[in-house]
Amino acid sequence: MTSPKPNILFFHVDNLGMGELGCYGGGILRGADTKRMDQFAKEGTKLTHYVVEPQCTPTRSALMTGRFPIRSGNHTIALGGNGGGIVTWERTIAEVLSETGYATAIYGKWHIGAEAGRFPTDHGFDEWYGPLRTYDECMWTEDPHYVPERDGYSHMHEGVKGKGAWPLLDQQLTMETKKTCDLEYQRRALKFMEKSAQAGKPFYCYFNHSLMHFPMLPRDEFKGKSTNGDWGDCLLMLDHDFGVLLDKLDELGVRDNTIVVMCGDNGAEDHLAGRGTGGFFDGSYFSSAEGGIRTPLLIRWPGKIPAGVESNEMVHVTDMFTTLLSFAGCSAPKDRLIDGVDQSPFFLGEQPASNRESCLVWLKDELHAVKWKDFKINFKRQQHFHDPELPLGFARITHLQEDPKEREPVNQRYVRWWVMQHAHRIVRAFEDSVKQEELIPPGSPLDFVPQQAGR
């Protein structure tokens, strides 16, 4: 039985640099042949200018709400247990889809709230299984100074709509758990998609793979299979796991009616425990460099989204909220500011240009840059996670096709102060929007509602 509405499988990769996959110039150069993802790229549209946030919490908030994370108080990693995360007032894509008949599930990292009222099952998802916060907590037990009875445990969690979520006390987040957790995500996701398909109910499966987040722990069947140690073995594992989900769509006969998105949540890992690469660009996550805010995005919808297309048109993570709702026949909420624009005409091949030409680049609560077309106007600069943040005396204007590595412009050919008028216009538009709807402060109570002009 096939649903008249399209299914959505959103495969979210943790810390995926632009230089990792073969279809983006990595693959065997990184010691691992990413053949499933490379083949998938040929079956749909590949973006080279997909802009996310520099950290996972802001990106995941933006994806779920279609709003810049600075608006929702999620512009840096959720504190968890201290009021950090999403407030009840926010509307997620899962809530909107659920109200129109979709079955919704999330597997893996949520990371925009770690307490009652902020779990994914409090925000539209029928079910959830994953860590309370993030994966480096699996390394706590490796620290000789860590005393779990004193310092606390980290457990995997499970949740059901209407019941919140709870810790699985027999599943502590350890190195072994990190190594094998994607198999459990996979088992549950396959069962969820099968159950939904058999019932003829459209599904939204938000699959958050644990890779490429450190520590790099390949499952035994992938150990030693690449030429780049554990890191390359993990890249092979990631590619394989994506293929398992694609094969299930074929088996269920829903391939043609399923929108599949594969993308990263931010740029490459910077820790030596799992360092990735921005490839053509420079930088890492937790930075405002292109390598921190660009990540691969591949999207397939057979017969709808053209196959074999590659585009350098700008698409922002907030746009995926609005666009996927449009594909599902839903509208974005109209009672709040939504930053995402509908990119469905662009993805469907009805127009060559994206509906976006600019975005703002925040690092925590500081505006680092404005992106306008292929120009980047930096007010502050941080190239890699562990680099110092540098205030710039004058705004620095870079054309990213001329200087993709964003090197210091010692010998500029053109004086491009004319670009500043566009940067100022974009910043003023955001400042005006804040007068229409106040920003939600980080750590706001669950029942916080932003004041809106005229209400």
pLDDT digits (tens, 9 = 90+) for 362-420: 999 999 999 999 999 999 988 898 888 777 878 999 999 999 999 866 557 788 999 99
pLDDT band at 71 (very low <50, low <70, confident <90, very high): very high
Q: Is 47 helix (H, G, I), strand (E, B) or coil?
A: strand
Q: Is 156 helix (H, G, I), strand (E, B) or coil?
A: strand
Same domain, 151 and 283: yes
36, part of any domain: yes
Same domain, 251 and 374: no
Question: Residue 321: how many CA atoms within 13 Å on its side-chain side?
Answer: 27
CATH number of the domain where residue 177 is located: 3.40.720.10
Give the whole-angstrom CA distance, residue 434 versus residue 187: 43
Of 300, 319, 347, the residue at which a domain comes to its end is 347
352, part of any domain: no
Same domain, 340 and 375: no
453, part of any domain: no
Q: What is the pLDDT of residue 80?
A: 45
pLDDT digits (tens, 9 = 90+) for 331-352: 999 999 999 999 999 999 999 9
Identity of the amino acid at 69: P
Q: Which residues are paired to 381 by β-bridges? A: 390
- In Å, how far are 198, 244, 283, 342 from 216, measured between CA atoms? 36, 20, 20, 36
Same domain, 288 and 387: no
Same domain, 279 and 416: no
Same domain, 188 and 154: yes
Same domain, 343 and 365: no
CATH number of the domain where residue 393 is located: 3.30.1120
141, part of any domain: yes
Q: What is the pLDDT of residue 409?
A: 65
- Residue ranges of the alpha helices (H) in 66-161? 69-72, 93-99, 148-151
Same domain, 332 and 374: no
Give the whole-angstrom CA distance, residue 267 versus residue 284: 5
Q: What is the pLDDT of residue 78?
A: 66
Write out the residue range of the structural domain in which residue 390 sits: 358-436
For residue 33, pLDDT beyond 80: yes
Domain count, the chain: 2
